Structure 1
């Protein structure tokens, strides 16, 4: 499938105008590389599939370019953990390369240091296509305590240099259900009354999570709130928009926007700036 921005755009004169400059920038950059971070069940795989417009699982390659059996990536007592250096590529959109970190609570200091070293090593790569271009940090909001020590540790200590970070609050649809349960329990009110107050209560909790990250030394450059991403009708347009806005320079913007397959409107807008 062609990326959205590779399609021709009709110019004001009614003829076919190409996005030559945009295409050249994207070609120079090569492949867009993303590190996605988050604990188990944060919705990371769902987001990647939405971005790549597929329901298929990715193909996994190690640092030598050899295909890896995906089943070996599941952590077990015998096999240990997966490797952050492995590359995940979806056949529906091979212009994206993803690296996955499972977050820091499971691996503690060891996992934190692995991510730090990985980012440092990638920053030293001479070719743009081999560097990390953006970090997506997923935080599930169906947890009673969404901002854990892992998030505080990352955003207070993990300086990512020139690589921007987008905080993705996932599973936001769970906030209202959680709010209803809390309101019923704490204030002993009916389900109906709790349901009326739940949206405002949920909004407050989401904003508090946002503020918790903002006060950290290395706060994210962007925030996105996603809900019901498991449903077929939902898209990641907000994530595409936010990511494009935090990228450094025209080259990376061109590469990302021309690679994504979510929004034609965003591609046209950036290509015709």
Structure 2
């Protein structure tokens, strides 16, 4: 049996009726890997469910993972580093707005509006969110950035998530690693989002390098060697200390030249960003979206589940509200055939079969005959939801692959030497009789929190 890890608490009958809250998925929502399915009318956003609970191949490249038409990038970092100038140059926006960085004039109300971090600035490949930046921990700007990242992390669609962060630092300074930098890269502010550090005002570091060389070399030699010396200073003063942080950047880019000059190129920054988001870089984002949507599903379905008359109806209530149980992956060629050849009744065949299998698996571990009490219902609902979460998030099992994965999860959860269920039951035992009754009826909300803080995980082989 697989080894289990448990985070500390912080963290049908054969005549299955089609649930009334289901309807066929609109074909326009079908992605390149999703077949004809049925989706809940209510709850988390429909597209987010598709993205998060089974329709994305976690081993795929970015071209196979639909993050929407564009990557979403937060532009932040230190103040007066040319962040907005770069964004506006890349997006071909009015240069007079960026000129305020050079003139150091007071920012107008118009500029304050344009610098709203929630405002989207579009490019052919990116959607930018431009923040005002911060130097240290004082003031509200660092909190604005943290709150924005948290809001994006809570969204239910991959396309609405942050995919990368550009963190700007100017190199003509003696403050090589600021207190704001330490906070950002030591406290995991970005979480799973790749951070690309962008160095600007590089001419200032070239001047410093030239000055150091002139102490020993001629003007001609110093001019020749200042580029190599400046790169050495960039490495020792900025890059190496940032690499030593607990949560270091994913990549570094140096922008040469004046940001306002037409000859200054941003190609390396764009290409580095695309490389940083290739391969498995999007996997944590996909998993996070799956987790957000799964937790939202659980919160929504527990009220009905805790009213179930028997184990069969409890399993049906829960599984019909968790899409990865009945999502079907299809090849592109199969989608055309499926769209034209299936009828609505066939959409529920897989759901009904998986409900039957899950009910049988649950009844194996329930002592029968037994009173179907509130505590017993909560115990069974927690077991199902915790095992469903493992199949969705860690096992990435959906549709036809669901039964085997769910069976493994149930065996592990009910194993005699597994502490997870003991901890869950201990928390459920704290519920009062009033928690299951009107007008308070807090059992569903409490049980959702218990489930979220008790994750079933198999140790990697």
The TM-score with structure 1 as length reference comes to: 0.64
Deviation of 1:166 after TM superposition, in Å, equals 0.6
Which segment drifts farther, 205-214 or 32-41?
32-41
Structure with larger RCO (C-alpha < 8 A, sep 6+): 1
Show CA shifts across 1:83-127 (max 9, x none): 432x1425xx36633222233226626333332221111111112
| Structure 2 counterpart of 1:56 | 94
Aligned to 1:38: 77
Query: What CA deviation, in whole Å up to 9, does each residue of 1:135-173 have, x standing for no partner?
Result: 000111122334322222211113422211111112223
Q: Equivalent residue of 2:130, what SS?
A: strand
| Alignment map for 1:1-273 (pairs within 5 Å) | 29-52=68-91, 54-56=92-94, 71-72=108-109, 74=111, 83-85=116-118, 87-90=119-122, 93=123, 96-105=126-135, 108=138, 110-184=140-214, 187=215, 191-192=219-220, 194-208=222-236, 209-228=238-257, 229-247=259-277
**Higher strand share goes to which structure?**
1
Aligned in 2, Cα 1:158/1:57: closer, same or farther, shift over 3 Å? farther
Counterpart CA distance in 2 for 1:46 and 1:134 is 18
Contact 1:155 1:217 in 2 (8 A): yes
Q: Deviations over 1:13-53 (max 9, x none)?
A: xxxxxxxxx98966x6144321001233312123213432x
2-structure distance, mates of 1:195, 1:233 = 21
Distance 1:194 1:24 in 2: 50
Which range moves more in the overlay, 225-234 or 189-198?
Answer: 189-198
- Tell me if structure 2 keeps the 8 A contact 1:50–1:235: no
User: Which stretches in structure 1 are left out of the alignment for 5+ residues?
Assistant: 1-21, 60-69, 253-273
Change (3 A) 1:99 1:225: same
Larger radius of gyration: 2
Say if 1:159 and 1:89 are closer, same or farther in 2 by CA, change over 3 A: closer
Change (3 A) 1:50 1:250: farther
Deviation of 1:73 after TM superposition, in Å, equals 5.5
Give the Cα–Cα distance (whole angstroms) in 1 for the partners of residues 136 and 178 of structure 2.
12
Find the residue that maps to 1:108 and give its secondary structure: coil
Give the TM-score, by structure 2 length. Answer: 0.40
CA distance in 2, matches of 1:104, 1:216: 18
Shift of 1:250: 8.4
- 2: CA distance between counterparts of 1:182 and 1:161? 39
Structure with the largest fraction of helix: 2
Q: From the superposition, tell whether residues 41 and 113 of structure 1 become closer, same or farther in structure 2 (CA, over 3 Å).
A: closer
Change (3 A) 1:193 1:117: same
Aligned length: 212
In 2 relative to 1, CA 189–160 (structure 1 residues): closer, same or farther, beyond 3 Å?
same
